[in-house]
Each structure stands twice: as structure tokens, then as C-alpha cells.
Chains A and B, each alone.
Chain A
Amino acid sequence: AQSVAQPEDQVNVAEGNPLTVKCTYSVSGNPYLFWYVQYPNRGLQFLLKYITGDNLVKGSYGFEAEFNKSQTSFHLKKPSALVSDSALYFCAVRGLFTTSGTYKYIFGTGTRLKVLA
């Protein structure tokens, strides 16, 4: 079965330090992977995606993610964290093909990032 896991409920990091939010996946076939961010009382916003190509993917707000096929991981990273990066982060993966002719998305449970001033 297709699945995605975010092993940390919360990550704390000091402002200016590098941050990593972890995501691992289990899929059959090539993975399509996404990161989204959710600020309080808002919907999810797309950050970046990996479909194919370079293992290091750059996205919005200075975030990047590293795809590692052997470890089945897609960790989100940022070299220098800002207090404004504090939010809930979701990893998502393409699920199984459906009879409607599309794929469903499967979301992780989310990781709350807290950047401390």
C-alpha cells in the first residue's frame, strides 16, 4: 500500500540554524512527492515537489528537499530558519491509480515546526 510517514510531531530549532523536517514514503513505482505548509487558520500552501530529475529540489521561501531513493525519504530543509517559518508542514505522496482515471494523494500526519527567536 502507498503510505507516507512523518516521524516527528514537532521540531524545534533556533532562528538562524538549519532545519530539517523528515518524511519517508512507501510506494510501488516511481514516487511523486510534495511538501505543503499550513499557517494558523489557513489552508495548505504548496512548497515544492519531486517528480523526476535532480534529487535536490528547490521551492518557495528558501526551502529545499532532498529525495533519497535508497532510504525512501524526502526530507524538507532550509539552511537558516526564520521565526516566520513556524507552521505545520505536510508531506504528501501520490497514491494508487483510481477507476476515475486519476491518482489520490496521501498526506502525512504533519510536523509542527517551531522556530525560536
Chain B
Amino acid sequence: DTAVSQTPKYLVTQMGNDKSIKCEQNLGHDTMYWYKQDSKKFLKIMFSYNNKELIINETVPNRFSPKSPDKAHLNLHINSLELGDSAVYFCASSQDYGGFTFGSGTRLTVV
């Protein structure tokens, strides 16, 4: 049973489209995150939700909108995709100050 699962694994889309990435965790963790890993492999936090409440919102274009229907799910919707949005997006979850568990990543390519 995968602890943190995200779909799809690969996403290729044209500029201007709207797309969503889904994430689910079965670890019972209270906090979930979206991270973006760019071409230089730098992992940068985008959003964090604790029990469905947004607690971290880094400097991210408002084309990116997270949604947490319950504490086990955190989805990411991206409007009007741009070339610069191409990256690998990782979902993660954690409990208290413990280590994070990451999903397998979604490689987004905007053409």
C-alpha cells in the first residue's frame, strides 16, 4: 500500500491549459505539502495544509490553487499553464516535526 500517492505520474500539456494533480496519503498525518523541484533539482515548498487549513503559502503565482477536501487529500490545480511551470511536483505529508514522506512525483511538461 503506497503511503503517499499522487497522480498522474507524467503530464504533458500545451501552454494555456488548466490541469490538476491529485495527492492522497494513508499515513494518518495531519499536514500535507506541495513542493516543486526545478531543473536544477532544487526542492521548494509551495503550499502546506494542516487538517484542511492552509498554513503555508509561499510566493507562488495565483494560477496555482491547492484544495484539501479532507486531511488525507491535497490536490493542486494550475490555470493557464506556462513553459516555466515545467518541473517535477512532489506531494508530501508529515506528523508534528517528524520527517516528511514524499509521493513519487508528477513530471509536468508544458509545450
Q: Do A and B come from one complex?
A: no
